[in-house]
């Protein structure tokens, strides 16, 4: 579970510091997501939900010079990182905002996009209903989200290194909250979206590369994701033991000078109902 207050605090700060590595881990997915977005039609007012450090917003601002792009995120640190990166684009802006409550009378989006920024709403039906309400007629939605942990080795293999914890609510806000397409379909339907479709994308998640890919991967996992949480909570021998096992896992996944893990996402598309 990762809730809004964590994104506004420590987790958002870590993502703002680590954006080069998080962009790298998503790279093949980003390519496919951008292709789907660009093929979705001519749009003039685009909002990137949970834009983080802004890679998707910046790519769209470059590709669609005649469109206005607005990136929204709840983390001030991430919006600062995104703004610093996107200063060359006059058609691009970023704002700290809760997308679940956002509205701007001067900006009725005809397209919402998101790379993994929509799984953290406390009340996803209310959030997507708000987004529909403030959008232009027939507005479209294109976002990515992770499929199940079992299909994402970077999560399940790290999870297997930790003491087993009682199973929580699979739909609680967090990276895997939208893994089940039926659940997501119901949310979007109830919130006023239709023509809902899911494309499965399997991709190569690069966790480490460079001179010492294993050290790079361990440092990345120490800042982002389930290992970072475990490392923070462990002390003494338990911490040392976990780090040793994390190193062994990273070493076992080195190929051609990089640490690779299997990753799996949905690209979800939908249209605002009449
Ligand atoms: C997994 S990160 C993805 C960030 C970015 N889209 C990327 O691909 O690098 C999820 C993002 O959603 C943002 N977020 C979570 N809840 C939000 C909300 N209610 N409104 C706006 N942003 C939110 C977080 O702050 C975080 O930047």
Task: Give the number of the atom of ligand 1 that is nearest the alpha carbon of residue 12.
Answer: 25
CATH number for position 102: 3.40.50.150
Mean pLDDT for the chain overall: 95
Q: Identify the band that residue 231 occupies on the pLDDT scale cut at 50, 70 and 90.
A: confident
CA–CA gap between residue 222 and residue 17 (Å, rounded): 12
Residue 47 placed within a domain = yes
Ligand 1 mean position to 237 CA, how many Å? Answer: 34
Task: Give the number of the atom of ligand 1 that is nearest the alpha carbon of residue 75.
Answer: 25
Q: Hey, is 2 helix, strand or coil? A: coil
CA dihedral 34, 8, 224, 176 (to 10 degrees): -60
Over residues 114-123, mean pLDDT? 97
CA–CA gap between residue 72 and residue 4 (Å, rounded): 13
Domain hosting 84: range is 4-205+264-272
- Given this model, what pLDDT does residue 65 score? 95
Task: Please say whether the beta carbons of 161 and 242 come within 8 A.
Answer: yes
Task: Please say whether the beta carbons of 43 and 139 come within 8 A.
Answer: no
**Does position 165 have pLDDT exceeding 80, yes or no?**
no
Pocket test of ligand 1: the residue of 52, 99, 176 to mutate, having most ligand atoms within 8 Å of its CB, is: 52
Task: Give the number of the atom of ligand 1 that is nearest the alpha carbon of residue 121.
Answer: 19
Q: How many CA atoms lie within 13 A of 149 on its CB side?
A: 16
Cβ of 120 less than 6 Å from ligand 1: yes
Say which residues have a Cβ less than 8 Å from residue 39's Cβ, sequence separation at least 6: none
Residue 143 placed within a domain = yes
Cβ of 100 less than 6 Å from ligand 1: yes
CA–CA gap between residue 91 and residue 66 (Å, rounded): 8
Over residues 97-121, mean pLDDT? 96
Total number of domains in the chain: 1
Ligand 1 mean position to 73 CA, how many Å? Answer: 6
Structure confidence by residue, pLDDT tens digits, 52-95: 999 999 999 999 999 999 999 999 999 999 999 988 899 999 99
Residue 111 placed within a domain = yes
Over residues 40-58, mean pLDDT? 97
Task: Give the number of the atom of ligand 1 that is nearest the alpha carbon of residue 78.
Answer: 27
Q: Identify the band that residue 162 occupies on the pLDDT scale cut at 50, 70 and 90.
A: confident
Ligand 1 mean position to 16 CA, how many Å? Answer: 11
Pocket test of ligand 1: the residue of 4, 50, 98 to mutate, having most ligand atoms within 8 Å of its CB, is: 50
Q: How many CA atoms lie within 13 A of 211 on its CB side?
A: 0
Cβ of 11 less than 6 Å from ligand 1: no
Task: Please say whether the beta carbons of 144 and 269 come within 8 A.
Answer: no
Ligand 1 mean position to 43 CA, how many Å? Answer: 22
Residue 20 placed within a domain = yes
């Amino acid at each position: 579970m990762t809730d809004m207050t964590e994104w506004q605090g420590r987790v958002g700060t870590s993502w703002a510091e680590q954006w080069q590595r998080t962009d790298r881990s998503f790279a093949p997915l980003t390519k496919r997501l951008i292709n789907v977005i660009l093929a979705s039609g001519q749009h003039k007012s685009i909002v990137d939900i949970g834009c983080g450090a802004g890679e998707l917003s910046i790519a769209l601002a470059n590709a669609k010079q005649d469109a206005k792009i607005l990136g929204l995120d709840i983390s001030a640190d991430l919006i600062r990182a995104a703004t610093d990166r996107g200063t060359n684009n006059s058609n691009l802006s970023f704002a700290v905002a809760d997308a679940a409550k956002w509205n701007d009378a001067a900006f009725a989006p005809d397209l919402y996009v998101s790379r993994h920024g929509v799984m953290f709403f406390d009340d996803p039906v209310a959030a997507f209903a708000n987004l529909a309400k403030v959008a232009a007629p027939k507005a479209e939605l294109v976002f990515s989200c992770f499929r199940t942990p079992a299909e994402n080795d970077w999560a399940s293999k790290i999870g297997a290194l930790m003491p087993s914890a009682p199973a929580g609510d699979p739909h609680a806000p967090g990276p895997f909250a939208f893994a089940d397409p039926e659940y997501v379909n119901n949310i979007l339907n109830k919130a006023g979206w239709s023509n809902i479709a899911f494309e499965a994308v399997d991709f190569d998640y690069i966790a480490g590369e460079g001179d010492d890919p294993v050290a790079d991967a361990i440092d990345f996992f120490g800042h982002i994701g389930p290992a970072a949480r475990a490392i923070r909570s462990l002390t003494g021998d338990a911490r040392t033991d976990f780090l040793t096992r994390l190193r062994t896992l990273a070493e076992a996944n080195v190929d051609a000078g990089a640490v690779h893990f299997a990753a799996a996402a949905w690209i979800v598309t939908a249209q605002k109902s009449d």
